[in-house]
């Protein structure tokens, strides 16, 4: 086993030994070596290939199709909201990048710079977008003139680059990633506020309905909000194995700060000059990493049916002397029946692998449902269906194939969510005094604590919890607030608490 080899801890950016074909299965378990397990499962599940540049990964078709499935949903939804797609350049001139002070302070340390074209040095280095606010807003200033030009709602699907030095992790923290970034401008704050929540709801939908991951909608603290914005909302997920929160997607109200810097003005209906209200919102390929972490197990990936490139894999199980051709034909016919019903199905008819090898292979890749057809099934005009999420086996008559398979896929989708929610909920701990907080943090809990909502106090919490595992910080203040009895004190400062806020370590 590869376990004999010394691996880098944390499963960082280094390339792994390529496992030989015989070595199906994982050398690490999710519970014991989560970091190594994750790095291995994304590679063996054929989602990711490591690459010679640390923090840059190749997204293989198996991962890309998940991204495309989410993209199809989200793109259609935002088009219904009259958001239009466009494309702004990758390259940012330093002039505009530096226009918004807080913003550049937030991003400058992570920027990658083009300094040469061929052999010659550029007169001025050119930045590669870490996000596109400063690329886009000079044009908003140009394009928006009167109230009739509003709202302006644009989105782009693109790659962005953030040259971070902290431990890179596929999908979760990579130096280049794919995302969508929406940028909208409105005449009034109310319109902007409304859209922030509409988009946040779409993000919740992606996580909960597509990826089967429970998330909490809430608002970020002043310290954690988007640099230069007014306020940030997010959907927050949680990884029980590491006890870390993870920001799933963000929807920001930028207020009028950027409008002021970039002079995005319009003439309102009364003929007066006013400034626009802006939002920006994004989700990225990080979503896929969260999905792997939440659902994967010791056999490999576990993909929710709604996003999986393949929902059903059909495997022939021929025996000696059995009617092999008949079994193969039944497999092919099953795929046709399912495909015609809109189910993503394929048969694995490779002859150089045993059925057992194929089971392991497709389990590693996380296909939600496996259908086996052997001589007995053929004789009984049935198939055997095996669920990836819980291993449950069911014999299905070929007469009711489509209905039954659809039903099972729905159940798998629901079960993945339920199990994930149960695990997450079991990690939530409500704490009040500081010592409880420290204890819960040590137990990898998702901590809900009463807070005074002061920036200094959050900085203090960070300072007091700093350590090998990283400091704790606020994750979000959930929109759904439990009752806060009068006189409740802040867990960290002892001052009167204003709200319940989630805390923990995070990715």
Partner 1 sequence: MVSSLRIPALTSLISPSFTRRSTVSLRRRLHLRPPLAAGFSAQSAASSPTETEDRVDSKKSGRVQDRGSTDRVITPRSQDFNAWYLDVIANAELADYGPVRGTMVIRPYGYAMWEAIQDYLNVKFKETGHSNMYFPQFIPYSFIEKEASHVEGFSPELALVTIGGGKELEEKLVVRPTSETIVNHMFTQWIHSYRDLPLMINQWANVTRWEMRTKPFVRTLEFLWQEGHTAHATLEEAEKEALQMIDVYTKFAYEQAAIPVIAGRKSKVETFAGADKTYTIEAMMGDRKALQAGTSHNLGQNFSRAFGTQFTDENGLRQHVWQTSWAISTRFVGGIIMTHGDDAGLMLPPRIAPIQVVIVPIWKKVDEKTGVLDAASSVAETLKNAGLKVKLDDTDQRTPGWKFNFWEMKGVPLRIEIGPRDVSSGSVVISRRDIPGKQGKVFGISMEPSILEAYVKDRLDEIQSSLLQRAISFRDSNIVDVSSYEELKEAISLGKWARGPWSASDADELRIKEETGATIRCFPFEQPQGTKACLMTGKPADEVAIFAKSY
Name the residues that contact partner 1, by CB under 8 A: 18, 21, 49, 51-53, 56-61, 63-65, 68, 84-96, 98, 108-120, 123-126, 128, 135, 138-139, 141-142, 145, 148, 154, 158-159, 161, 163-165, 175-176, 178, 263, 350, 352
Q: Smaller CB distance to partner 1: residue 8 or 142?
A: 142
Q: What sections of 263-400 are H helices per DSSP?
A: 286-295, 324-340, 355-365, 375-379
Q: Smaller CB distance to partner 1: residue 85 or 381?
A: 85
Report, in Å, the least distance between residue 354 CB and partner 1.
15
Give the residue from 188, 483, 211, 295 showing the smallest Cα distance to 499: 483
Report, in Å, the least distance between residue 101 CB and partner 1.
14
Report, in Å, the least distance between residue 474 CB and partner 1.
26
Q: Smaller CB distance to partner 1: residue 123 or 483?
A: 123
Largest CA distance in the chain: 87
Q: Smaller CB distance to partner 1: residue 51 or 319?
A: 51
Report, in Å, the least distance between residue 153 CB and partner 1.
9
Kind and range of the H or E run holding 273: strand 273-275
Contact 345, 339 (CB under 8 A): yes
Cross-strand bridge partners of residue 368? none
Q: Smaller CB distance to partner 1: residue 54 or 415?
A: 54
Contact 408, 343 (CB under 8 A): no
Locus of tokens 């034909």: 329
Q: Smaller CB distance to partner 1: residue 163 or 434?
A: 163
Contact 225, 252 (CB under 8 A): yes
Locus of tokens 């910080």: 473
Q: Smaller CB distance to partner 1: residue 54 or 493?
A: 54
CB burial of 296-320 (b: ≥16 within 10 Å; e: otherwise) equals: bbebbbbbbbbbbbbbbbbbbbbee
Report, in Å, the least distance between residue 39 CB and partner 1.
16
Report, in Å, the least distance between residue 372 CB and partner 1.
22
Q: Smaller CB distance to partner 1: residue 178 or 469?
A: 178
Report, in Å, the least distance between residue 78 CB and partner 1.
12
Residues 6 or more apart whose CB falls under 8 angstroms from that of 59 comprise 47, 48, 67, 178, 285
Q: How far is CA 265 from CA 52, 84, 98, 169, in A?
A: 46, 21, 20, 41
Report, in Å, the least distance between residue 21 CB and partner 1.
8
Say how far apart CA 188 and CA 266 lie, in whole Å.
11
Locus of tokens 């996003």: 307
Torsion angles phi and psi, residue 419, rounded to 5: -65, -45
């Amino acid at each position: 086993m590869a376990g004999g080899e010394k691996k880098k801890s944390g499963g960082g950016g280094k390339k792994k030994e390529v496992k030989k074909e015989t070595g199906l299965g994982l050398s690490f378990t999710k519970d014991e070596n989560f970091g190594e397990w994750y790095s291995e499962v994304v590679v063996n599940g054929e989602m990711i290939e490591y690459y010679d540049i640390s923090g840059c990964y190749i997204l293989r078709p198996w991962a890309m199709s998940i991204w495309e499935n989410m993209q199809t949903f989200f793109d259609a939804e935002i088009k219904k909201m009259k958001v239009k797609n466009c494309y702004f350049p990758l390259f940012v001139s330093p002039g505009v990048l530096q226009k918004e002070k807080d913003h550049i302070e937030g991003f400058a340390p992570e920027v990658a710079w083009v300094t040469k074209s061929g052999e010659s040095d550029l007169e001025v280095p050119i930045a590669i977008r870490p996000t596109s606010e400063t690329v886009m807003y000079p044009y908003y200033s140009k394009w928006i003139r009167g109230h009739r030009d509003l709202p302006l709602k644009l989105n782009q699907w693109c790659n962005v680059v953030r040259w971070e030095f902290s431990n890179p992790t596929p999908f979760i923290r990579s130096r280049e990633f794919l995302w969508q970034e929406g940028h909208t401008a409105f005449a009034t704050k109310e319109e902007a506020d409304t859209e922030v929540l509409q988009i946040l709801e779409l993000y919740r939908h992606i996580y909960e309905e597509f990826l089967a991951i429970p998330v909490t909608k809430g608002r970020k603290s002043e310290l954690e909000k988007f640099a230069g914005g007014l306020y940030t909302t997010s959907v927050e997920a949680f990884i029980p194995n590491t006890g870390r929160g993870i920001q799933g997607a963000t929807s920001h109200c930028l207020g009028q700060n950027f409008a002021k810097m970039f002079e995005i003005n319009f003439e309102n209906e009364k003929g007066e000059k006013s400034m626009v209200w802006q939002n920006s919102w994004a989700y990225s390929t990080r979503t896929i990493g969260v999905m792997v972490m939440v659902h994967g197990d010791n056999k490999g990936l576990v993909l929710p049916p709604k996003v999986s490139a393949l929902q059903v894999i059909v495997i022939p199980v021929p025996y000696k002397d059995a009617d092999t051709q008949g079994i193969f034909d039944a497999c092919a016919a099953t795929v046709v029946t399912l495909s015609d019903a809109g189910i993503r199905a394929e048969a694995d008819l490779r002859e150089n692998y045993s059925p057992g090898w194929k089971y392991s292979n497709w389990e590693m890749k996380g296909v939600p449902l496996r259908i086996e057809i052997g001589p007995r099934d053929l004789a009984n005009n049935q198939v055997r269906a095996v669920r990836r999420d819980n291993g449950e086996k069911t014999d299905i008559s070929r007469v009711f194939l489509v209905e039954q398979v659809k039903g099972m896929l729905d159940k798998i989708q629901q079960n993945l969510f339920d199990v994930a929610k149960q695990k997450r909920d079991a990690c939530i701990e409500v704490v009040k005094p500081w010592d409880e907080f420290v204890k819960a943090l040590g137990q990898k809990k998702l901590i809900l604590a009463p807070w005074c909502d002061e920036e200094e106090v959050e900085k203090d919490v960070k300072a007091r919890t700093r350590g090998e595992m990283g400091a704790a910080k606020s994750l979000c203040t959930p929109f759904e607030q439990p009752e806060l009895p009068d006189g409740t004190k802040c867990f960290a400062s002892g001052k009167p608490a204003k709200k319940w806020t989630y805390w923990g370590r995070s990715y």
